[in-house]
Amino acid sequence: MNRLVNSASPYLLQHANNPVDWYPWDEDALGKARAENKPIFLSIGYAACHWCHVMAHESFEDPAIAAIMNEHFINIKVDREERPDLDSIYMQATTAMTGSGGWPMSIFLTPDLHPFYAGTYFPPEPRYNMPSFRNILLGIVNAWANEPDEIHRVGDQLAQHLRQALSIETQNADLLQENLNQITTAILDNYDWGYGGWGMAPKFPQPMTIEYLFQRSLSEPTRKENILKTSLHALKAMARGGMYDVVGGGFARYSTDNFWRVPHFEKMLYDNAQLALVYLHAWQITREPSFKRVAIETLDFVRREMTHPDGGFYSSLDADSKGEEGRFYVWTKSEIQEVLANDSDFEFFSVAYGITEKGNWEGKNVLQRALDDASLAARFRLDEEAVPVKLADCHSKLLAARARRIRPNTDDKILTAWNGLMLHAFAEAARILDDEKKATEYLEAAVRSANFLLSSLYLNGKLHRSWRDGKRTNEVFLEDYASLIIALLELYQTDFDNHWFTAAMELADDMLLRFGDSNGGFFDTPNDGGTLLIRPKDLQDNATPSGNALACEALLKFAAFTDKAEYRDAAEKALRMVTDSALRYPMGFARWLSTADFALDNGEQIAVVFEAMNKDAQEVIRFIQAEYRPNTIIAASTFPPPKSAPVLLMDRPLKENKPTAYVCEHFVCKQPVNSIEELKGLI
């Protein structure tokens, strides 16, 4: 056992039995490097990473390679999901040195944390036109002994480059409506109508881009039809299966091909949170049952397979089982035939998914629809409405059979930022869905999640990043605060419990204090954080939204609830940081663009007061929430509202003792109304 044995991270624990003398990133490791003047080998990965497992098996479990590492290096292993700050800093260094990045990230540092050599996966012997990890180690040992000045020169130069890259100044230009119009045009022009989505393989889902387009469909009514056509085409392309798990629900990380057919099979919480939400919104806009089905199946998958008994959500499911990527999810023709013993079911399913003996990937079948519902109905002489019902029955039988297989490993640590994204999805689903049973289940999941986060990860006024088996990490990051704040505000707008609002307010004020940058925006790490080469300030969205974009959105929503100018001022100053970058690379700043749309629109703030939450009050709230209104916030309370309620509710008397709605827009409030018909005229 090495020093990782006491870690909470499943990824670090996977390496606790390596012959490598691993350290976690802590002062013991950094101090030892300084005291012994040894280079640091920093390995960054995550539990669901296939090539991380490969490099661990090939190199970190090899006693001969471990001996070189232990004699000449201080070896530090980092879970990128626990330490996004280190991942961000050294991924930028890796990209600067090599032109690309990825995981496992393999980077060599001087004792003062300056990077001087980097790469990703290295094989144990030379192959794939790549040097062997063994030779790289020996080469660096030689250079450290014989060319130390050159190593420090390179490290100093790169450290200076990173500092300059991260020294972002607030720009004077605001993002304007005409800018967003131009950006929308660029996104639409780059759409792949052949296969769906954007870009070439590997193809990633783009939920933030689609959410932005949904918002713009309201802000640009003359282009609404074209914007929605593009967005919905992308969602339908993914929902056919392959990257989407038609049997068990949920999405894999990305598609390795252009067809959304063969995924990289790991399932991440953050992908499923964002995709469940965007499919919910697609259903809310179109009322097409297929979008609701995907959203429900995804949320049910998370409840079934990624939820801790106390309510938190796990981080990921591995891509591998029994050492093979995708083994858990793919099928032979005979396996399907055995499960669907009824000949008519098997024929129906085989035609639906194009099942063949040779399969469509490595001799197996990845399930992706070959025929749509209308074509299947015509071929088998069924009503079209019967097709999804018949397929669901087949999926259920296959899911039961699949449950008997050896499961992929679960990374069961609970991350605040990712849990915030999923809590948001459950909270919205609970108030959007017209299925009362599902809405009740999802509200329960959201409330349990919020209670878990506020009791297990928010202690003595301090938020924490990660929890597992009762152990919390000391670190916390901007995205943790901002994601949880937004999630609590969404939960408040679902059940109107003031506890969520006041908790979010405390977190927002603490976020401003601990992360704010006087030059605009926010640092990713708090002002009392640990030893780092630089204090990162990452603005670009990645697979998860930028912490700065989330913070900006959270503050704009608080400004709407509270009318506090300091919240809006901080958000608008942050928005100016990305004007130039968003115009150049819009899909890397999609969450920012949604936030800018919210800021420019100013949205509607609706206050609803009532004597009791009875049928009439529920009807008013349900009317407001049923439609897709992305830039609307709503507060509701019995009259008079308690002091803990949002300021938006204050001084709003009842009209004729009936449930009364106050609609405010562009800083102007309209006359209160107490009927649905009157409300229709105002919203």
pLDDT on residue 624 = 95
Encode pLDDT of 510-529 as tens digits.
999 999 999 899 999 999 98
pLDDT on residue 170 = 54
User: Does residue 317 register a pLDDT over 70?
Assistant: yes
Q: Which residues contact 645 (CB under 8 A, 6 or more apart)?
A: 498, 501, 635, 637
Encode pLDDT of 226-236 as tens digits.
999 999 999 99
259 touches 195 (CB < 8 A): yes
On whether residue 392 sits in a domain, the answer given is yes
On whether residue 572 sits in a domain, the answer given is yes
The DSSP bridge partners found for residue 75 are 22, 41
Asked if 665 and 615 sit in the same domain, the reply is yes
Q: What band does 221 get if pLDDT is binned at 50, 70 and 90? A: very high
User: Does residue 327 register a pLDDT over 80?
Assistant: yes
Q: Which of 394, 379, 421, 392 is nearest to 546 (CA)?
A: 421
User: Does residue 194 register a pLDDT over 90?
Assistant: yes
- Domain count for the chain: 4
On whether residue 433 sits in a domain, the answer given is yes
Write out the two tokens for 182. Answer: 């131009």
User: Does residue 444 register a pLDDT over 60?
Assistant: yes
d(CA 446, CA 449): 5
Looking at residue 203, what DSSP letter applies?
A: B
Edge-to-edge strands, sheet with 660-665? 632-638, 604-610, 660-665, 668-669
On whether residue 476 sits in a domain, the answer given is yes
Using CB atoms within 10 A of its CB, is residue 453 exposed (0-12), middle (13-18) or buried (19+)?
Answer: buried
Asked if 194 and 282 sit in the same domain, the reply is yes
User: Does residue 669 register a pLDDT over 90?
Assistant: no
Asked if 612 and 595 sit in the same domain, the reply is no
pLDDT on residue 395 = 98
Place of tokens 């690309």: 100
pLDDT on residue 163 = 86
pLDDT > 90 fraction of the chain, expressed in percent and rounded? 92
* Structural domain ending residue among the three candidates 376, 404, 432: 404
d(CA 10, CA 21): 17
On whether residue 172 sits in a domain, the answer given is no
- Backbone φ and ψ for 384, nearest 5 degrees, come out as -60, -35
d(CA 258, CA 260): 6
293 touches 388 (CB < 8 A): yes
Asked if 463 and 445 sit in the same domain, the reply is yes
Peptide bond into 104 cis (omega under 30): yes
Asked if 51 and 152 sit in the same domain, the reply is yes
Domain of residue 16, residue span: 3-166
Distances (CA, A) of 23 to 43, 74, 199, 427: 10, 8, 39, 39
Asked if 445 and 399 sit in the same domain, the reply is no
* Structural domain ending residue among the three candidates 366, 387, 404: 404
Q: Which of 234, 102, 92, 22 is nearest to 534 (CA)?
A: 92
Query: What average pLDDT is seen over the chain?
Result: 95
Q: Which residues contact 615 (CB under 8 A, 6 or more apart)?
A: none
> For position 555, which CATH number holds?
1.50.10.20
Q: Give SS3 for 138.
A: helix
User: Does residue 497 register a pLDDT over 90?
Assistant: yes
For the entire predicted model, the pTM comes to 0.95
Q: What band does 413 get if pLDDT is binned at 50, 70 and 90? A: very high
User: Does residue 169 register a pLDDT over 60?
Assistant: no
Asked if 108 and 16 sit in the same domain, the reply is yes
pLDDT on residue 531 = 85
Strand stretches in 293-422, DSSP E: 316-317, 320-321, 324-325, 410-411, 414-415
Q: Give SS3 for 318.
A: coil
Asked if 222 and 266 sit in the same domain, the reply is yes
On whether residue 617 sits in a domain, the answer given is yes
pLDDT > 70 fraction of the chain, expressed in percent and rounded? 99
On whether residue 171 sits in a domain, the answer given is no
d(CA 118, CA 124): 16
pLDDT on residue 683 = 87
Q: What band does 322 get if pLDDT is binned at 50, 70 and 90? A: confident
Q: What band does 127 get if pLDDT is binned at 50, 70 and 90? A: confident
37 touches 112 (CB < 8 A): no
Looking at residue 656, what DSSP letter applies?
A: T
Asked if 522 and 561 sit in the same domain, the reply is yes
Q: What band does 295 get if pLDDT is binned at 50, 70 and 90? A: very high
Encode pLDDT of 65-96 as tens digits.
999 999 999 999 999 999 999 999 999 999 99
Greatest alpha-carbon pair distance for the chain in Å reads: 87
Encode pLDDT of 567-605 as tens digits.
999 999 999 999 999 999 999 999 999 999 999 987 899
pLDDT on residue 168 = 61
Asked if 158 and 226 sit in the same domain, the reply is no
Asked if 560 and 660 sit in the same domain, the reply is no
* Structural domain ending residue among the three candidates 601, 635, 651: 601
d(CA 91, CA 119): 10
pLDDT on residue 64 = 97
On whether residue 153 sits in a domain, the answer given is yes
Asked if 575 and 624 sit in the same domain, the reply is no
